[in-house]
Chain A
Amino acid sequence: MADLAARGEEPEILFWVGCAGAFDDRYKRVTRAFVRILEHVGVKYAVLGMEETCTGDPAKRAGNEFLFQMQAMQNITTFEGYGIKKIVTACPHCFNTIKNEYPALGGNYEVIHHSTFLQQLINEGRVKVEGGESYKGRRITFHDSCYLGRANNIYEAPRAVLEALDADLVEMKRSKANGLCCGAGGAQMWKEPEPGKKDINIERTEEALATLDGNAAALDNLYGVESGNAGATPAPKGNGQNSIIAVGCPFCMTMMSDGVKGKERENNVQVFDLAELVASAEGLNA
């Protein structure tokens, strides 16, 4: 960003990478995939690099309002310094915080989650999702992130992206507004869960796997999934070989990947971010 500013140029968008996107080895792949898409369509973008710092979301959810505001003010000062107007991010937590909580502190920006951004690119025909890996006929289920879905009412954009892949999209019983948390939000990512019967990510992964496998019996055994409610139990079809749990959030990525590993299903079920799916369908994998 500083380079661009030095050249007197202004980016169309600021790509907010987020701490997970910058440091988490798994999520760095998502960052790269998204950057490849940006390069591919020729959007003029910039990143803050070392000038970026945590939005303060985990501090705020944990109750540390003071630390949150320190972070927020620092970021707002940076944004204002570069005259940023439009921000795209792959992290629903960063998205929610900058979009909803920064305005009261004086930071007003157009903030877009990458699922919405990708949907726009697909709608405009700038991304064709062809020429690379084909997802035709593969089963994909989308895990709604709380901070994208319930927190900000974004349910359709990620699904529109997945539909463009021509895959076999199946819905979990608890989806959209009724989606179940991956277990990492509210700063749970950084602490051990309180004692209980089960970890939340295991419950959610079991639901995703049972949905992909079409395993109605396993679905019925989950807590709180009332049978007979609306929401289709998919008819059994194979055993979910080669199927995908799609996510749009770094925390969901970690939680669902850990869950799949815990269930020893990593050979035949993969967890991918929307950006990775689009990039590989477009043939942008390096």
Chain B
Amino acid sequence: MTIQNIIFLLVAIAGFGLFAWQVRKIRANILAGRDRDMSGNVSERLNKTLLVAFGQQKMFKRITPALLHLVVYVGFLVINIEVIEILIDGIFGTHRVLGFMGPVYAALTGTNEILGALVVLAVAAFWWRRNRSQPVRRFTGPELRAWPKLDANIILYVEVILMLALFTMNTADLKLHQLEGRDLAGAFPISSLLTGLFPSNATALEVLERVGWWAHIVGILLFLNYLPSSKHFHIIMAFPNVYYSRLVPQGQFSNVDSITHEVKAMMDPSYQVPAPATNPDGSAAAPTPFGAKDVNDLAWTNLLNAYSCTECGRCTSVCPANLTGKLLSPRKVIMDTRDRMEEKYNSPLIFQPNLYGAEAKHAEAEVIDKENHTLLRGYVTPEELWACTTCNACVEACPVNINPLESIVEMRRFLVLEESAAPNSLNVMFSNIENNGAPWAFSPSDRFNWADDLYVADKQNIATA
């Protein structure tokens, strides 16, 4: 083993170890959410994951970004095969260990190079869409503060650097082999165009090859450890998130079981309410509030959502409330959830830039209760929540099956059931339902008036109460 192999081994262990440590903390953050049974329906879930996550089904609602994204995504998948080779070479001091595969290896390296070049082009297009003077509307908005904006660009730069490292490595290797009159396994359609730009000195080429090789693998390890701080974590989280997405009709809201017991007991005094939950030591557990005030009141799937968000803004760009200028932005609700998790629990991150810090949370100033800093009010204001029409457009639009509506409804439940803090007109509606059985103030005895002037042959058929 050379010193290079040992260094490599240490770097790789540190890189993967650090990543595992970060993932464990994130996992704990997500599991702080309320329990929700998502087992079963395995084949249906796998199917969905295949279509939506691997197949990018929902991306293809908009063709331009879908194609650009597809290039980077496929490039990412294929280039990862290269990483396997780099790992083996790095540990055992081999060189292009997969080269024995002959034509398969040629196809692999060739595809790799072409995808690499396409990725650079796609990244340029992405950069332009985001950073020109009038970017695509969904890349703006008050929740896209300095960090999320920078984050989006950092990844674009990193992608270019990784591709450049790949081409440096390949071109130097190729030229070295050409100089020495040897064959290099693999096909290099792009690098063979670049050999002219490289020096013809064997030592320089050797150094360049090593620099490219190390830059590539170290870059990948850094990238891996940057992910948990970034919206780019979605390249991993999209898969479990889609797997655990809802399978029921979008219009179906969850029923709160504890309320069901209460209502049943009210209607039927003989009804046995199940015993309240107890702590492992037998003492009565603190009652769980209705709805959600903070992140741990949300279901773990809602928290998983927050770590899967790509901050793409597709949800907000179709939200009728947001479109017409209200404060509500479903993307902000999701981003707030993640920020709050990392504020409340130990942030697992090396970079901790997701927190709001002193940055303004709203375009319009709203007094934020710093004392009782929770997701509700600390991040998301009632005004935002009450603007939602529960139309499900955000749910439909999200390419990774995030459901912002569920979190919104949970927080509304808290406002209504725990704080009685609904807007007054809604309270009037509630009491109308309670007293008249209708959201409007009409008497139940008028329910049949619509039939008064109905001229039908056989009125008998309409049976009245």
Specify the chain A residue showing the minimal Cβ separation from B268. A73
> In the docked arrangement, what's the CA distance between A86 and B229, Å?
52
Q: Is the CB of A63 within 8 A of B393?
A: no
Q: Chain A, 66-83, contact with B by CB distance < 8 Å: what is the 0/1 string?
A: 110111010001000000
Decide yes or no whether A28 CB sits under 8 A from chain B.
yes
Q: Which residues of B contact A73 (CB under 8 A)?
A: 263-264, 267
State whether A63 and B252 are in contact (beta carbons under 8 Å apart), knowing that A3-B464, A187-B426, A188-B389 are contacts in the complex.
Answer: no
Q: Which residues of B contact A191 (CB under 8 A)?
A: 386, 423, 425-426, 429
Q: Is the CB of B462 within 8 A of A192?
A: no
> In the docked arrangement, what's the CA distance between A71 and B255, Å?
13
Q: Chain A, 157-182, contact with B by CB distance < 8 Å: what is the 0/1 string?
A: 00000000000000000000111110
Contact residue among A23, A36, A150 (Cβ-Cβ distance under 8 Å from B446):
A23
User: How many residues of chain A are within 8 Å of chain B by beta carbon?
Assistant: 86
State whether A146 and B417 are in contact (beta carbons under 8 Å apart), knowing that A35-B451, A100-B252, A183-B320 are contacts in the complex.
Answer: no
Decide yes or no whether A219 CB sits under 8 A from chain B.
no
Q: Is the CB of B324 within 8 A of A196?
A: yes
Q: Is the CB of B262 within 8 A of A2?
A: no
- The residue in A17, A67, A177 that gathers the most chain B C-beta atoms within 10 A of its C-beta is A67
Q: Is the CB of B409 within 8 A of A63?
A: yes
Q: Is the CB of A185 within 8 A of B390?
A: yes
Q: Is the CB of B426 within 8 A of A66?
A: no
Decide yes or no whether A136 CB sits under 8 A from chain B.
no
Specify the chain B residue showing the minimal Cβ separation from A204. B320
Q: Which residues of B contact A192 (CB under 8 A)?
A: 425
Q: Which residues of B contact A64 (CB under 8 A)?
A: 413, 416-417, 422, 430
Decide yes or no whether B383 CB sits under 8 A from chain A.
yes
Q: Which residues of B contact A23 (CB under 8 A)?
A: 438, 440, 442, 446-447
Q: Is the CB of B386 within 8 A of A194?
A: yes
Q: Is the CB of B433 within 8 A of A203?
A: no
| B252-304, CB < 8 A from A | 252-253, 255-256, 259-260, 262-264, 266-267, 290-291
Q: Is the CB of A100 within 8 A of B454?
A: no
Q: How far is the CB of B317 from chain A (nearest CB, A)?
A: 6
Q: Is the CB of A96 within 8 A of B252?
A: yes
State whether A63 and B291 are in contact (beta carbons under 8 Å apart), knowing that A22-B447, A146-B393, A150-B393 are contacts in the complex.
Answer: yes
Contact residue among A17, A28, A100, A179 (Cβ-Cβ distance under 8 Å from B248):
A100
Decide yes or no whether B327 CB sits under 8 A from chain A.
yes
State whether A223 and B324 are in contact (beta carbons under 8 Å apart), knowing that A100-B248, A190-B428, A194-B383 are contacts in the complex.
Answer: yes
Decide yes or no whether A54 CB sits under 8 A from chain B.
yes
Q: Which residues of B contact A116 (CB under 8 A)?
A: none
Q: Is the CB of B389 within 8 A of A186?
A: yes
> In the docked arrangement, what's the CA distance between A36 and B448, Å?
15
> In the docked arrangement, what's the CA distance between A45 and B448, Å?
15
Q: Is the CB of A178 within 8 A of B389?
A: no
Q: Which residues of A contact B409 (CB under 8 A)?
A: 61, 63
Decide yes or no whether B318 CB sits under 8 A from chain A.
yes
| A43-60, CB < 8 A from B | 44-54, 56, 58-60
Bin the interface of chain B by size: 35 or more
- The residue in B317, B414, B438 that gathers the most chain A C-beta atoms within 10 A of its C-beta is B438
> In the docked arrangement, what's the CA distance between A53 and B465, Å?
13
Q: Is the CB of B327 within 8 A of A194?
A: yes
Q: Which residues of A contact B266 (CB under 8 A)?
A: 70
Q: Which residues of A contact B423 (CB under 8 A)?
A: 191
Q: How far is the CB of A78 from chain B (nearest CB, A)?
A: 10
State whether A3 and B417 are in contact (beta carbons under 8 Å apart), knowing that A32-B454, A35-B454, A53-B444 are contacts in the complex.
Answer: no
| B79-134, CB < 8 A from A | none
> In the docked arrangement, what's the CA distance between A172 and B255, Å?
35
Q: Is the CB of B429 within 8 A of A286?
A: no
Decide yes or no whether B169 CB sits under 8 A from chain A.
no
Q: Which residues of B contact A204 (CB under 8 A)?
A: 320
Decide yes or no whether A220 CB sits under 8 A from chain B.
no
> In the docked arrangement, what's the CA distance between A39 and B462, Å?
9
- The residue in B248, B416, B455 that gathers the most chain A C-beta atoms within 10 A of its C-beta is B416
User: With A1-B463, A197-B324 given, can you name 6 additional A-B contacts, CB distance below 8 Å?
Assistant: A39-B457, A46-B463, A54-B438, A65-B291, A183-B320, A193-B326
Residues of B within 8 A of A (CB): 61-62, 137, 248-253, 255-256, 259-260, 262-264, 266-267, 290-291, 317-318, 320-321, 323-328, 383, 386-393, 395-396, 409, 412-417, 422-423, 425-426, 428-430, 433-434, 437-440, 442, 444-451, 453-458, 461-465
The list of the 6 closest CB pairs from A to B, nearest first, reads A151-B251, A197-B325, A186-B390, A63-B412, A53-B437, A196-B325
Residues of A within 8 A of B (CB): 1-4, 11, 17, 19, 21-24, 28, 31-32, 35-36, 39, 44-54, 56, 58-67, 69-71, 73, 77, 96, 100-101, 104-105, 146-147, 150-153, 177-181, 183-200, 202-204, 223-224, 226, 229, 286
A-B contact pairs, 5 of them (CB 8 A): A53-B444, A65-B256, A178-B393, A181-B393, A187-B429
